[in-house]
Amino acid sequence: MSFLTDLFAKKKEESVLGIDIGSSSLKVVQLRKKQGQVVLETYGELALGPYGGAEVGQAMNLSAEQVTETLKDLIREAKVTTKNCGVSIPFARSLLTLVELPYRKNPKEQKTIIELEARKYIPVPISEVQLDWFIVPEETPSESAAPRDKVSVLIVAVHNDELKFLQSVVAGAHLAASFYEIEIFSTIRAAIDEPVKPVMVLDIGAASTKTYVVEHGVVALSHTISAGGQDITRAIAVSSNVSLARAEALKKEEGLGTSPASDSPELVFSRIFSEARRVLIQYETAHKKSITAIVLTGGGGVTKALDAYAKSIFSIDVRIANPFAKTEAPAFMRPVLEGIGPEFAVAVGLALRKLQEV
């Protein structure tokens, strides 16, 4: 009897959920493995604005209770059937810094050095954060290269208060989260296929745009630009004399098209891309290597014709993130999934990691 119970339990737990708690909306993606294939079961998104008395597309700072209410509504509307999930941690609520530290062959000695040095880069007492770190893989050394004396380490810290907030939301929604992951790592898993060469990710969120250079699957550089999707929505609303809700829809329907409103979002994107280009040049100059591609993701990444405009600004390959390409779904859904892909990169990446646990 218990054996049968275990069998049914395992079957029931095949599905997993990725939950992306963004600044302007919540996204969920439910995946399942079937005969070695990753199958998309359901997905959904709900704007946070209406739960805080604001318009759709606006960045919000809601209480844990309000976020929980939104999440429960989203789970019901998307017909989510599993409680097993992974949850995103906003980049803005975390600290990532890449540092060079003395290299030690002995792993225990290396660990001690990293944990001692990490304290210098964290602006709060170490007891107030959860600390993690990753050693950046070394470029393949030549036989004539000098012995290694330094190692690049990505130090990651998340404040305990942020984790408590997320844990409260998960508990309130009656879910079971086995991990909490900073959103950029989820995005890398879902949208970056280049294993070695540097790639720049432009994550255009509602309140800001996060710029990352990813190399060897690790964040080699991060920078925040203080303009995002809600600035584009406001620009369209003003120039077209429409509500913010209508402007949000126009951003996706017309974007940088031929309508009179297209000049306004173009000005905002021009500012974002100009600063991103400065970061790109700064990285290439300092590291003496070229960034091979730019991947656009985040809610702003669904703006129509954005990739064509970005290609006219940057002199390298620019593509829109397509995380659902890593899942099996009916052919008729593909155009829709490609269109919304940038918004769901984090949620897909979380669900892919969760599947690895199954």
Least confident window among 74-83, 129-138, 267-276:
129-138
Confidence at 166, pLDDT banded by 50, 70, 90 = very high
**15 conformational bin, left if phi > 0, alpha if psi -120 to 50, beta if neither:** beta
- 210-227 residue pLDDT tens: 999 998 888 888 999 999
**7 has which bridge partners?**
none
Q: What is the mean pLDDT of residues 278-291?
A: 94
Residue 271 in this model has a pLDDT that exceeds 50: yes
- Report which of 204, 202, 256 is spatially closest to residue 228, judged by C-alpha positions: 204
Q: What is the mean pLDDT of residues 107-125?
A: 88
Q: Where are the alpha helices (DSSP H) in the chain?
A: 2-12, 64-77, 107-118, 160-172, 183-191, 229-240, 244-253, 263-287, 306-313, 334-340, 345-357
Least confident window among 78-92, 224-238, 246-260:
246-260
Q: Tell me how crowded residue 229 is: count the other CB atoms within 10 A of its CB.
A: 29
Determine the pLDDT at residue 147.
Answer: 65
User: What domains are defined for the chain?
Assistant: 2-93+161-357 (3.30.420.40), 94-159 (3.30.1490.300)
Q: Could you give the CA distance from residue 135 to residue 153 in angstroms, rounded to a whole number?
A: 5
Backbone angles phi, psi at 289, to 5 degrees: -150, 155
Residue 31 in this model has a pLDDT that exceeds 90: yes
Question: What is the pTM assigned to this prediction?
Answer: 0.88
Q: Could you give the CA distance from residue 343 to residue 323 in angstroms, rounded to a whole number?
A: 9
Q: In 3-state terms, what secondary structure has residue 26?
A: strand
- Report which of 176, 204, 216, 195 is spatially closest to residue 86, judged by C-alpha positions: 176
Determine the pLDDT at residue 10.
Answer: 45
Determine the pLDDT at residue 4.
Answer: 34
Cβ–Cβ < 8 Å for 66, 168: no
Q: Where are the alpha helices (DSSP H) in 84-223?
A: 107-118, 160-172, 183-191
Q: Could you give the CA distance from residue 16 to residue 351 in angstroms, rounded to a whole number?
A: 6
Cβ–Cβ < 8 Å for 350, 186: yes
Backbone angles phi, psi at 310, to 5 degrees: -60, -40
- Report which of 280, 353, 340 is spatially closest to residue 314, judged by C-alpha positions: 280
Confidence at 202, pLDDT banded by 50, 70, 90 = very high
Beta strands in 75-169 (DSSP E): 84-89, 94-102, 129-135, 150-159
Q: How far apart are the first and last CA of the chain?
A: 23
The burial class, CB within 10 Å (0-12 / 13-18 / 19+), for 140 is exposed
Q: What is the CA radius of gyration of the chain?
A: 21
> What average pLDDT does the structure give for the chain?
87
Helices 263-287 and 306-313: crossing angle in degrees, nearest 10, is 50
